[in-house]
């Protein structure tokens, strides 16, 4: 499987994401600059964390208009797995690939620490290797991670089982403790915690590796023909 790590001006978790795929997962991966117009050669698209375009106007608001986002939308419509982490999640929200919006943390301060998440839906291409209800430890590092949506959108998220991860001890005030959601078709995931920073016990834990393993397993089941 071949992954693209999208790099915007201001991305700073792209190297972490690249390492997670190449060195821990053992799959192909390339950095892809924000002005790239085609992602056809890639099987999976990763939008890393950071401060794209300095977070001017609003987190993800400018990155959403980068040339590469047209290709990301095309890849999403084609059913390819799209993962947006932290700033990547914010960009997916701004691009309309996921519902809702991101607000400042309730504390109005930057949060950087490991948090416990609950896997509330393991029937997705991003969570299939986890067990339902499993508690995992993944780091967060954000100032605007307070997820919000209106009542109608929240009802749809629940009805369609689109909430994948929730916080055990909500660090930012996120609605319904939401830490990660998918789109209705199930191939776009946005999450504030950083699974790419939890892929090796030397880093303090490897709970995030299962997320990437889930993507690869789901992709292979759908695309690799068994003899």
User: What's the average model confidence in pLDDT over 161-190?
Assistant: 98
Q: pTM for this one?
A: 0.96
Q: For residue 219, give the CATH number of its domain.
A: 3.40.50.880
Q: Is 27 a catalytic residue?
A: no
Q: Which of 86, 94, 144, 149 is catalytic?
A: 86
* C-alpha span between 75 and 78 (Å, rounded): 5
* C-alpha span between 111 and 159 (Å, rounded): 31
What counts of helices (H) and strands (E) characterise the chain? 5, 11
The long-range contacts involving 175-180, CB below 8 angstroms and separated by at least 24 positions, are 175/146, 175/147, 175/148, 175/149, 178/147, 179/115, 179/117, 179/147, 180/89, 180/117
Backbone phi and psi for residue 169, each to the nearest 5 degrees, phi listed first: -135, 90
Other CB atoms within a 10 A radius of the CB of residue 161 amount to 13
Out of 91-95, 143-147, 153-157, 199-203, least confident range: 199-203
Q: What is the pLDDT of residues 32-87, one digit of tens each?
A: 999 999 999 999 999 999 999 999 889 999 999 999 999 999 999 999 999 999 99
DSSP state letter for 193: S
* C-alpha span between 205 and 137 (Å, rounded): 7
Statement: residue 227 has pLDDT above 70: no
Tokens of 176: 């319904």
Statement: residue 22 has pLDDT above 80: yes
Q: Is 19 a catalytic residue?
A: no
* C-alpha span between 213 and 97 (Å, rounded): 23
Q: Which residues form the domain of 93?
A: 2-223
User: Structurally, how many domains does the chain consist of?
Assistant: 1
Q: Is 86 a catalytic residue?
A: yes
At residue 225, the pLDDT reads: 65
pLDDT band at 226 (very low <50, low <70, confident <90, very high): low
Reduced to 3 states (helix: H, G, I; strand: E, B; else coil), residue 69 is helix
The beta strands (E) that lie in 79-177 are given as 82-85, 101-103, 111-119, 135-142, 146-148, 163-167
Q: What is the pLDDT of residues 87-146, one digit of tens each?
A: 999 999 999 999 999 999 999 999 999 999 999 999 999 999 999 999 999 999 999 999
């Amino acid at each position: 499987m071949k992954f693209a790590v999208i790099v915007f001006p201001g991305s700073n978790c792209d190297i972490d994401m690249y390492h997670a795929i190449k060195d821990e997962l053992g799959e192909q991966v390339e950095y892809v600059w924000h002005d790239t117009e085609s992602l056809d050669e890639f099987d999976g698209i990763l939008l890393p964390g950071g401060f794209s375009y300095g977070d001017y106007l609003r987190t993800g608001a400018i990155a959403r208009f980068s040339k590469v986002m047209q290709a990301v939308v095309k890849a999403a419509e084609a059913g390819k797995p799209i993962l947006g982490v932290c700033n990547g999640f914010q960009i997916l929200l701004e691009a309309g690939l996921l519902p809702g919006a991101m607000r400042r943390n309730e504390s109005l301060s930057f949060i950087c620490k490991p948090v416990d998440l609950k896997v509330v839906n393991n029937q997705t291409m991003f969570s299939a290797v986890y067990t339902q209800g499993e508690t995992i430890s993944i780091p967060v590092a954000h100032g605007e991670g307070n997820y919000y949506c209106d009542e109608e959108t929240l009802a749809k998220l629940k009805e369609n089982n689109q909430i994948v991860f929730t916080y055990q001890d909500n660090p930012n005030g996120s609605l319904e403790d939401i830490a990660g959601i998918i789109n209705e078709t199930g191939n776009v995931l946005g999450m504030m915690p950083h699974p790419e920073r939890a892929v090796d016990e030397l880093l303090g834990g490897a709970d995030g590796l299962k997320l990437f393993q889930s993507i690869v397993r789901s992709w292979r089941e759908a695309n690799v023909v068994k003899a």
